[in-house]
A = this chain, B = another copy of it.
Amino acid sequence: MSELLGVAVLGAGHMGADHVRRLDRVVSGARVAAVADPDADRAKEAAAGIDGVAVHTTAEAALDAPGVEAVLIASPGEAHEEALLAAFARGLPVLCEKPMVPDSAGALRVVEAEARGGRRLAQIGFMRRYDPEYRRLKSLLDGGRLGRPLMLHCVHRNVSSPPHFTSAMLVTSSVSHEIDAARWLLGQELTAVTVLRPRPSAGAPAGLIDPQFVLFETERGALVDVEIFVNCGFGYEVRCEAVCESGSARIGEAHTLLVTAAGAAREEVPQDYLVRFADAYDRQVQAWVDATRRGRVTGPGAWDGYAASVAAEAGVRSLETGTRTPVVLAPRPALYDPS
């Protein structure tokens, strides 16, 4: 192959600009054909130095730009539904950042629209599925050597939360990664969620319920627990232990440079998800470009985006009510049957 896939990138903020850079310089087989952002200057800045890019202020215009064969949506979550429907209308393959659509009703509309079209077009940006550690764990679980998974113990810690981060966003923005990872690793839907509230850390902003401890139940009886702590102060840590019938497997404890100095052996902990998952972002986009050029969708799809939003909404209700809350999904269209 040598023809490059022309991609329109919607959104030129932090994440969008990073995807523009990635498509231009890291990923093989693609080129940036258009960039759209309501802020024209921001769009121009992201596109600077790249040959043959159309710059627009609306998604529609970018989708219709010459040479656009696929779409990468990195605009704010509220704009995703409209952008996805516009891409579907044009038959364009899409890679859409998470959350697919923030509310589950909108997410369901996207699922239904894609299902009506009869062809899978959307991949959702659950990039952990492309992290080498998660993939090794998935492969181990699928191989069956350790028997059936019984529990997942997850830890998800950030140094600090961004301004305006709310207690609900610990579930909808942070734990949503574990929601997708659990569904994918276990191959099961979630059926209930309980959010527990230990006394907040003195390091959390006033009023923020941080940390939280979240429990998921699954359709075949597995239990998933997640510590989410977004103002832990000391590093970015994502760990997962799968406890199975005849063994346990853990990821997220990699150490690569062990320094012994001043009375301690130290392993530096990354401070940021862009460090920890840099490779996963690259692999995700490369895999999407490769599959798209072959006319396929191989990553997590609209159904996964919908299921994550339903579970996240149930989590927010549990956080508010303090009680176990069922996760109830609409019937799954046949388009999303596992192959």
Binding site for B on A (CB under 8 A): 1-4, 24-29, 31, 49-52, 132-133, 136-137, 140, 145-148, 150-151, 153, 155, 196, 198-199, 201-203, 211, 213, 215, 220-223, 225, 227, 229, 232-235, 237, 243, 245-251, 253-269, 271, 279, 286, 290
The verdict on A258 contacting B269 (CB below 8 Å), with A1-B24, A243-B211, A264-B235 known, is no
The verdict on A133 contacting B257 (CB below 8 Å), with A234-B248, A243-B229, A269-B264 known, is yes
Q: Across the interface, do A237 and B251 meet the contact criterion of CB distance under 8 Å?
A: no
**Separation of A50 and B222 alpha carbons in the complex (Å):** 47
Which of B136, B145, B201, B237 has a CB less than 8 Å from the CB of A260?
A: B237
**Separation of A251 and B269 alpha carbons in the complex (Å):** 15
Q: Across the interface, do A248 and B261 meet the contact criterion of CB distance under 8 Å?
A: yes
Q: Across the interface, do A1 and B198 meet the contact criterion of CB distance under 8 Å?
A: no
- Each complex incorporates copies of this chain amounting to 4
The verdict on A203 contacting B257 (CB below 8 Å), with A4-B2, A28-B25 known, is no
Q: Across the interface, do B268 and A258 meet the contact criterion of CB distance under 8 Å?
A: no
Of all chain B residues, the one with the shortest Cβ separation from A131 is B256
Residues from chain B with a CB closer than 8 A to the CB of A286 are: 26
Q: Across the interface, do A150 and B249 meet the contact criterion of CB distance under 8 Å?
A: no
Smallest beta-carbon distance A100→chain B, Å: 27
- 15 additional contacts, CB 8 Å, given A198-B223, A250-B260? A1-B49, A1-B51, A2-B52, A25-B29, A146-B259, A150-B198, A196-B223, A203-B245, A203-B246, A211-B243, A232-B243, A246-B262, A250-B257, A253-B255, A279-B279
Which of B26, B196, B220, B235 has a CB less than 8 Å from the CB of A263?
A: B235
Q: Across the interface, do A227 and B243 meet the contact criterion of CB distance under 8 Å?
A: yes
Which of B198, B257, B264, B269 has a CB less than 8 Å from the CB of A137?
A: B257
Residues from chain B with a CB closer than 8 A to the CB of A254 are: 254-256
**Separation of A259 and B251 alpha carbons in the complex (Å):** 9
Smallest beta-carbon distance A181→chain B, Å: 15
**Separation of A234 and B264 alpha carbons in the complex (Å):** 7
Of all chain B residues, the one with the shortest Cβ separation from A265 is B267
Q: Across the interface, do A255 and B247 meet the contact criterion of CB distance under 8 Å?
A: no
The verdict on A263 contacting B250 (CB below 8 Å), with A24-B1, A245-B202 known, is no
Q: Across the interface, do A247 and B234 meet the contact criterion of CB distance under 8 Å?
A: yes
Q: Across the interface, do B221 and A198 meet the contact criterion of CB distance under 8 Å?
A: yes
Smallest beta-carbon distance A13→chain B, Å: 22
Of all chain B residues, the one with the shortest Cβ separation from A145 is B261
Residues from chain B with a CB closer than 8 A to the CB of A155 are: 153
